[in-house]
Structure 1
Amino acid sequence: MQLNPWALTAVVLVAVPAYYLGSRASRFASSTQDFLVARRTVRSRRNAAAISGEFLSAASFLGVAGIVLKEGADGLWYPIGFTAGYLALMLFVAAPLRRSGAYTVPDFLQARLGSVVLRRFATTFMVCIGVLYLVPQLQGAGLVVSTVLPVPVWVGAAGMTVLVAVNVIGGGMRAITLVQAFQYWVKLFAIAVPAFALCVVFLSTGRPGPAGALDSPAPPVFAEETTVDLQTDVTLRVTTLTPVWVQEPGAKTEHLEAWAAGTTTHLHRGARLTFSAGTPAPVADGPANNTDWLRPGSGGLPDMLRTYSLIMALVFGTMGLPHVLVRYYTNPDGKAARRTTAHVLLLLGLFYLFPIVLGAMARMYVPRLLVTNQTDAALVWLPTTMLPGLAGQLVGAVIMAGVFSALVSTSSGLLVGVAGLLSTEVFRGRTSHFRTAAAVAALMAVAIAMVLRPTDLATSVGISFALAASTFSPLLVLGVWWRGLTWPGALAGMVIGGGLVIVALCSYALNGYGGRHLSWFTVQPALITVPIAFVVTILVSLATRGGRPADVNAFMLRLHAPDPLGFTRDRTPARFGQVAGRPRAGRGRHRK
């Protein structure tokens, strides 16, 4: 598959105005407040669009459709959890967090509990979460570029890193706020228009897709002779007798094999498989039959535990993501922060309707992706499969523009969040230090993206959510609503909860490289780690009552008092070092 000129044109049409908006806003960014929190003057509707723009990542644009293609009903928990996380954020954290006047979550924790040690540990975990979340975005860039151009995956990851780093270094939060708000509407257009167009094509045919109807008990079949090149090692599960021509890696000839029903076959990267028309598609992961694909929890108890663990990670993990939380510091007050979250729920709910529909159609039209296990490429292949010729290229071009926006906006938000943490917590808080921190964070992320084994984008993001849920959700919920929280309790809960997730992540990586079976805990550990983190935090806090700060009552009043009473006092990053550059005069204006 080659990149068509229409796709290139669509990407340019998105990139040029985004670059113009960012460069124009960068001219007004001259102080640390501009780079970190956009001078706290972002109105709620624009902030909601910006949050949605950076939150709707490659995992949302490509990953949700891919996970629905592969897992069916069980995959629906991803968009539901992504959206429900903001409901928990709105109810428990958003407004009090803004009223605290903090610049970062570590700053909030020190102001609430008075511990420098806790602040340093929180900074470490926040940076880890931000980098882990940034890695799948860069891997998604590599996937898209390698799908449409004959280049290695690392080329796309490196190119995206350079592009995002240049944008962020130019103007920080003030520069990317308007860009991300613009890119949300680009992404909504780029997912909604193809969904409507392909639905019209599907309905106009009056028959199921060539791979078979979704309610058919049989697995999807190949409508015509199909050749599949494997880009990674895969283990295929076969449900029916499957004849296939196999060309081993490095071999010049192919040979015929007959895979028996109920068996599994391990194939290495570089192998080429040729299936005849009408052959059922073997599946590398997920339900093989459409009957199981439509039924939630078809994998038994381990599948059910993994699903509940995923729900817990997504709901509680949102309040621990650095690029999400930093947005609430840009609101003028707590009321605006809560209103922002309500708008975000509407914007996300609208967007997620469309990748679900496209993922279901992909199962009927591109079953080859079930063999290669590259289901994240579903939206890239679907338009040209359903609409051969110019029409398919045009629809694919619109999708490519949306993918580009998703990758750039989310990567920019994550890089700003991580750079803000490093510049204020590690360096001395100057604008030059922000730029240095952005470059360091970008280099860390691209190095990890090239080393780690690529996996499903939604799965990779789910691990980041599990780490965020197991470290910061207990601290924020209890820190906002429980006076009895102490810094030793907060530190113990964060270290134990985060440590368990890191152990699961290491086990996942090692088992994956070794080709061994992965338990549900290593894939998604939040069902165990989040309750443990809450329990440990509470028990240690009860045992260390002396670690409770003396001014807890005054601080709790600041968190929960209505905004018109004027208890909010914004903290300044100048306490970490002097601001480089002369700030602009005036406080700025905002509209609610």
Structure 2
Amino acid sequence: MNHAYAVTAVTAVVLATVLIGALGLRISRTTSDFYVASRTVRPGLNAAAISGEYLSAASFLGIAGLALLQGPDVLWYPVGYTAGYLVLLVLVAAPLRRSGAYTLSDFAEARLESPQVRRLASLFVVGIGWLYLLPQLQGAGLTLEILTGAPGWAGGVIVAVVVTGIVAAGGMRSITFVQAFQYWLKLTALLVPALFLVAAWTADDAPRVTFDAPAVFREHAVVKVADTVRIDIEAPLALTATGRIDGTAYEEAAVTLTPGPHHVEGGTELAFPPGTPVPAHTNPGAGPPDWSQPPAEGRGSQRLYATYGLILATFLGTMGLPHVAVRFYTSPHGRAARRTTLVVLGLIGAFYLLPPVYGALGRIYAPELALTGAADAAVLVLPDRMIGGLTGDLLGALLAGGAFAAFLSTASGLAMSVAGVLTQDVLPSRGVRHFRLATLLATAVPLSLGIATSKVPVADAVALAFAVSASSFCPLLVLGIWWRRLTPPGAMAGLVLGGGSALTAVMATRADLPPDGWPRTLLAWPAVWSVPLGFLAMVLVSLATPRHIPGGTPALLARLHLPEEFAGGPGPVPGHPRPGAGR
């Protein structure tokens, strides 16, 4: 790959982002413009902006990487990400807009009239936002490292600096234009190369492998394993090794691995002859790709359980993502919020048709990425592998620009939502000046964590954030909107038990604490048990504390469910600047 083209493309995307953000700054004249774009964003523009910030590094790089690694199992990711907006449309979109809530913390306080619930909700907003920001910054580092050989932290620093500047300078008005532009850029960046790659594949004599067939090295390949992995061999495998396998050191030695599991230490180089099947890279607690089979003893049932955990997390977690919730406050009214969600379903559905194509082609043309720990790079390396020359360089540059647009757009929305909560609930003032300081904090913390911690596949990392969101804010929003008997003690119990247990499980998994087998699977995919736990805790504790039902519940529920012309429209919520106030 010609690095000059890729660097030029990334630079162009960054400059375009800054220029469009500056346009938003010029027309952002009031506090209401800064925080909520004066509630005037129409469905088409808002849907493109929501799609732009929602289609993150997990969508652009991660789904293709996981498809390369695991085959059709991971197609539940795009299905879940898209279906999450259907649940949001049916249950939450219009009532949340009518509530007048700028953040999920605002909704919690307005619905339950409790500062304590608000503070607890704020902790979860910040935690989920940082958990979601981390893979965006790490993905940017991976992209820049592949394109230029720069240190892994450099891409994250660039994204953090650009996002902090745009959000701090122009607020919601700026990032609305930026994210809408970046959606169409990302769609173009995936679609155009995909057409060329599929054409090259059909003209090639490459095997028409399917996802359930093993990937094969078509040429002699030397693979350097980044981290210690366990590989499963189905038939005797002859290769040349430099490093340590099963505790034995080799130096350019011919080795024949027997069927069964083998441990390959990080830094080991493996040379595979042409036609060799790519060894299965087994993650702890994961089983073979048989998620569709009935539950059974052993690892197959663990795989099925993990699939259900993924489905629940993605279906129910979307509504609680802080950068998604804040977007609905920019709609003029509840009907516009519903129309916005319908358009979003179409936009993200069209986008998600493309990443699996890259994953399928990656299994043919870049199978070694399954062992190197760089499966997320499949999208970026395919043009050079399959086409090459100037055309391959230009297509690779387009994909690089699209990848950076993914990092920038999602990070902008997350920084905006986290900074809004920090401004209202942590810093001493709620003015624009302190919002800008909060923006710096919102990006600096995950950037520091990303530099200090090891990388995890971006789609997996985002799924963890979805699990925490589904276990905490999904029960709060659904019961808060549709159940009049919800009480502050019940809401707090559900947030702590549901969201807290999911967050603890996520952190334990990231720290590699649980042992292999069912303990790791249960903690790695907590939504199956943590979402029901959150709902159950809220309902039972609320029923036990009926005297704590807020006095304003009937009036607020009427406002949530009646059209604005009957309910009077949403007013400013506690802690949020009154629309139209001067900066």
Question: What is the TM-score with the length of structure 2 in the denominator?
Answer: 0.93
What is the CA distance between 1:77 and its match in structure 2? 0.3
The residue identity in structure 1 corresponding to 2:25 is S
Preserved CA contact (<8 Å) 1:512 1:518: no
State whether structure 2 residue 5 is matched by structure 1 residue 9.
Answer: no
Of the three residues 277, 299, 309, the one matched with 1:280 is 277
| SS of corresponding position for 1:263 | strand
Preserved CA contact (<8 Å) 2:230 2:283: no
After superposition, give the CA deviation of every residue in 1:174-194 in whole Å (9 maximum; x if it has no partner).
111001001100001001111
Percent identical among aligned pairs is 43
Q: 1:451 to 1:3 in 2, by over 3 A?
A: farther
Q: 1:339 to 1:581 in 2, by over 3 A?
A: closer
| Aligned counterparts, 1:128-167, within 5 A | 128-167=127-166
What is the CA distance between 1:234 and its match in structure 2? 2.1
Q: 1:495 to 1:321 in 2, by over 3 A?
A: same
Preserved CA contact (<8 Å) 1:297 1:303: no
Preserved CA contact (<8 Å) 2:572 2:578: no
* Structure 2 portions without partners, runs of 5+: none
| SS of corresponding position for 2:354 | helix
Preserved CA contact (<8 Å) 1:73 1:294: no
Partner of 2:481: 480
Whole-Å Cα distance in 1 between the matches of residues 141 and 382 of structure 2?
19
Partner of 2:530: 529
| SS of corresponding position for 1:519 | helix
Whole-Å Cα distance in 2 between the matches of residues 188 and 344 of structure 1?
13
The residue identity in structure 1 corresponding to 2:238 is P
The residue identity in structure 1 corresponding to 2:223 is V
* Structure 1 portions without partners, runs of 5+: 584-592
State whether structure 2 residue 209 is matched by structure 1 residue 213.
Answer: yes
Partner of 2:107: 108
The residue identity in structure 1 corresponding to 2:220 is E
Partner of 2:176: 177
Q: 1:3 to 1:516 in 2, by over 3 A?
A: farther
Of the three residues 222, 234, 237, the one matched with 2:232 is 237
The residue identity in structure 2 corresponding to 1:567 is G
**RMSD of Structure 2 on Structure 1 (CA):** 2.4
Deviates more, 1:379-388 or 1:10-19: 10-19
What is the CA distance between 1:410 and its match in structure 2? 0.5
The residue identity in structure 1 corresponding to 2:532 is P
Partner of 1:446: 447
Of the three residues 258, 268, 271, the one matched with 1:271 is 268
Deviates more, 1:19-28 or 1:292-301: 292-301
Q: 1:515 to 1:316 in 2, by over 3 A?
A: closer
Partner of 1:468: 469
| SS of corresponding position for 1:306 | helix
| Aligned counterparts, 1:93-104, within 5 A | 93-104=92-103
What is the CA distance between 1:14 and its match in structure 2? 2.7
After superposition, give the CA deviation of every residue in 1:475-524 in whole Å (9 maximum; x if it has no partner).
10000001011010000000011121122123212327999997222221
The residue identity in structure 2 corresponding to 1:563 is E
Preserved CA contact (<8 Å) 2:71 2:212: no
Partner of 1:392: 392
The residue identity in structure 2 corresponding to 1:341 is T
Preserved CA contact (<8 Å) 2:39 2:330: yes
| SS of corresponding position for 2:532 | helix
| Aligned counterparts, 1:248-263, within 5 A | 248=243, 253-263=251-261
Preserved CA contact (<8 Å) 1:240 1:280: no
Q: 1:163 to 1:552 in 2, by over 3 A?
A: same
Partner of 1:322: 322
Partner of 1:562: 563
Partner of 1:589: none
Whole-Å Cα distance in 2 between the matches of residues 3 and 296 of structure 1?
42
Report how many aligned residue pairs link the two structures. Answer: 572
Deviates more, 1:496-505 or 1:321-330: 496-505
Q: 1:293 to 1:364 in 2, by over 3 A?
A: farther
Q: 1:379 to 1:546 in 2, by over 3 A?
A: same
Deviates more, 1:234-243 or 1:492-501: 234-243
Partner of 2:355: 355
Preserved CA contact (<8 Å) 2:502 2:530: yes
After superposition, give the CA deviation of every residue in 1:199-255 in whole Å (9 maximum; x if it has no partner).
1111123x434xx622775x2221111112233332222222222222228x99532
Partner of 1:343: 343
Q: 1:143 to 1:155 in 2, by over 3 A?
A: same
Partner of 2:45: 46
Q: 1:234 to 1:35 in 2, by over 3 A?
A: farther
